[in-house]
Amino acid sequence: MPQNIAAAKTTIGLIVSSTASMVGASTSAIALSDQLNQRHEFLYLDLPIWYFFTAVFALSAIGAVASLFTDTIKDSDYRYLSIPRKIAYVVCGFLCGIIGAFIILPSFTANPEMGIMMMTALVLSFSGMVLINNLSEIKRDDELQKSIRTLIISRLTAVLNFLGGGKK
């Protein structure tokens, strides 16, 4: 009998805590809904802010898909890209755009404009994917790594010679 009482107490405690969790979740959902329905003026239109967040996600997806058609990814080695690799490229580009718009841009300015946020999502999803693709190519090819090191060293010595007043 004491086991049944302990089980009943545990059950009642779980029910009370889950009810509190549901109340807390509904309260936070209402607060989130209020935040997303705030009005924001853009191009003389007074729109809810969730339109802009949806546009940021859509532009990130567009930039990620457009990055598949660049010269760096459209090379002869990528002619037979597998579907999972293409999906990985698109997801990675999408994440670059979202991270750029919602994390990187707000770290530079406290109140970013919505137009700049949308352009950041588009540009960073495109260029971020191209950059990641190029870095992965450099990581895979030892000869390319060696030539890049040689190029960096030659450029640095040229800059140091110029700044030091040596040979031009």
* 145-165 per-position pLDDT tens digit: 999 999 999 999 999 998 887
- The pLDDT, as a whole number, for residue 60 is 93
What mean pLDDT comes out for the span 73-98? 76
Residue 40 lies in a domain: yes
In a domain, residue 156? The reply is no
Band (134; pLDDT cuts 50, 70, 90): confident
Please say whether the dihedral angle defined by the alpha carbons of residues 33, 48, 97 and 103, taken in this order, is positive or negative: negative
**How many CA atoms within 13 Å lie on the side-chain side of 93?**
30
If you write DSSP's letter for every residue of 119-162 in order, what string do you get? Answer: HHHHHHHHHHHHHHHHHHHHHH-HHHHHHHHHHHHHHHHHHHHH
Residue 148 domain flag? no
Residue 96 structural domain: 25-141
Residue 123 lies in a domain: yes
Q: Model-level pTM?
A: 0.64
The answer to whether residue 1 sits within a structural domain is no
Domain tally for the chain? 1
Asked if residue 55 belongs to a domain, the reply is: yes
How would residue 1 be classed by pLDDT, with cut points 50, 70 and 90? very low
Kindly state whether residue 132 falls inside one of the protein's structural domains. Answer: yes
